[in-house]
Amino acid sequence: MTKKLLLAFCLSIVLSIPSNQIVTATSQTDVIRKFKYALIQNDEKLVKSYVTKGVAIPIFKENKQIFKMIEVPSQKQDTKVLIAYFKEKHSEYKIAFILEVVSKNSKISHIKTVLKLFY
């Protein structure tokens, strides 16, 4: 009996969450993730497709390939910090740049270059 009440309570909480909030949160995260992979692939056309018109996209030299990019949550709403690394000859990873990316309405609405080092 207790298990059924607990299950009913949990189910009522899940059903009380508006479905559009769940979809919005997922789409905001997805657009940043897709933007991140487009940067790693160095696909300028794809990068621009995820960005709202008028938002300046930082320009990076193409002589070094991004090896990996880490997505870090921010305290700001709909904001992620992207830390990009490239690989040196001796298996060292160095930070290439750090971006603060804000998403709104399933598009990147603001990009701030926090740090630009070796790229």
pTM value surpassing 0.75: no
Delineate the domains of the chain, giving CATH numbers in brackets: 19-116 (3.10.450.50)
Residue range 97-108, pLDDT digits in tens: 899 999 998 999
Residue range 13-43, pLDDT digits in tens: 555 555 444 444 446 668 999 999 998 888 8
Tokens 């090896």 correspond to 67
59 with 42: CB under 8 angstroms? Answer: no
Q: Is the dihedral of CA 52, 114, 61, 78 positive or negative?
A: negative
